[in-house]
Amino acid sequence: MLWIAGVCALCMLVCLPLFMHYKHHALRYKLAAAFKTCGTLCAAVLALTAALRLDPRCWICFAALMLHAVADYILEFNLWGGAGFFLAGHICYIAFFTSLFPPTSLHLICAVCLLAIMVYMFFFRWRKQIGKHIPLFAVYGAALCLMCACAIGCFSGHTLQGQLIAVGGALFFLSDTMIFCRTLFSTGPRIDWAIMITYYAAQLLFGISCLIG
């Protein structure tokens, strides 16, 4: 549908560039955070439309996107406050994905693999940089892995909806892994572009999947 393409274009071609401009060039951080939030709200519109017209289960996806939208704003000013809202959104996503595609062996395999990656990064490769914050990183990392595993596991449904969710889950994991890297190490604006492109793509795919089911 043209309106879905329009919503995606608004997110990627308007909200994203304006967020990056006001954050890295104009240095107007509140306005930047507002545009960042608007990008996620674009995906929320897709889920809201599906919840109202197609499938009541999409209200859970809408709730997840709204929590993430709040987190997007807070995260620009308070790392752990934003992470708390993201954590709540991840729980909603887990409930939504498993309501569409009940857990299978693929979900378990994905969870084990993603958790192994996080354990390697947090407790071996990046342990020195994380320092005393390891428990907080571990809790959020575990929730992220479970959410993304539930998303990627939707591929087992062999439907377009499941495939969109699976790709979205993989992109979300990639985006958050880059955020962990940016938090611990000095990075340039290019990593911010990569983070936001993969993040918005994931959220939009989740929103579009609501309209496909």
Q: Rounded to an integer, what distance in angstroms lies between the CA atom of residue 55 and that of residue 65?
A: 16
Q: Rounded to an integer, what distance in angstroms lies between the CA atom of residue 16 and that of residue 36?
A: 7
Burial class of 190 by CB neighbour count within 10 A (0 to 12, 13 to 18, 19+): exposed
pLDDT score, position 70? 97
Tell me which of 182 and 194 has the higher pLDDT: 194
- Kindly indicate the confidence band of residue 155, based on its pLDDT and cuts at 50, 70 and 90: very high
- Kindly indicate the confidence band of residue 34, based on its pLDDT and cuts at 50, 70 and 90: very high
- Kindly indicate the confidence band of residue 11, based on its pLDDT and cuts at 50, 70 and 90: very high
pLDDT score, position 128? 84
DSSP 65-95: HHHHHHHHHHHTT-HHHHHHHHHHHHHHHHH
pLDDT score, position 164? 97
Is pLDDT at 137 greater than 90 in this prediction? no
Mean per-residue pLDDT for 66-93? 94
Q: Rounded to an integer, what distance in angstroms lies between the CA atom of residue 3 and that of residue 14?
A: 15
Say how many C-beta atoms besides its own lie within 10 A of residue 177's C-beta: 19
CB 101 within 8 A of CB 77: no
When mean pLDDT is compared across 53-57, 66-70, 140-144, 180-184, the lowest value belongs to 180-184
> What are 182-191's contacts with CB under 8 Å, separation 24+?
183/79, 184/126, 184/129, 184/130, 185/129, 189/20, 189/24
pLDDT score, position 185? 83
pLDDT score, position 72? 96
Summarised one tens digit per residue, pLDDT across range 39-62 is: 999 999 999 999 999 999 999 999
Cα 17 from chain centre: 18
pLDDT score, position 182? 85
- Kindly indicate the confidence band of residue 184, based on its pLDDT and cuts at 50, 70 and 90: confident
Mean per-residue pLDDT for 114-122? 90
**Mean pLDDT score of the chain:** 93
Q: Rounded to an integer, what distance in angstroms lies between the CA atom of residue 39 and that of residue 202?
A: 12
CB 85 within 8 A of CB 47: no
Q: What letter would DSSP give residue 57?
A: T
pLDDT score, position 121? 85
pLDDT score, position 131? 81
Global confidence as pTM: 0.94
pLDDT score, position 124? 83
**C-alpha distance from residue 213 to each of 17, 35, 60, 95, 150 (Å):** 31, 29, 14, 16, 17
Torsion angle, alpha carbons of 62, 64, 67, 68, to 10:
-110
pLDDT score, position 187? 77
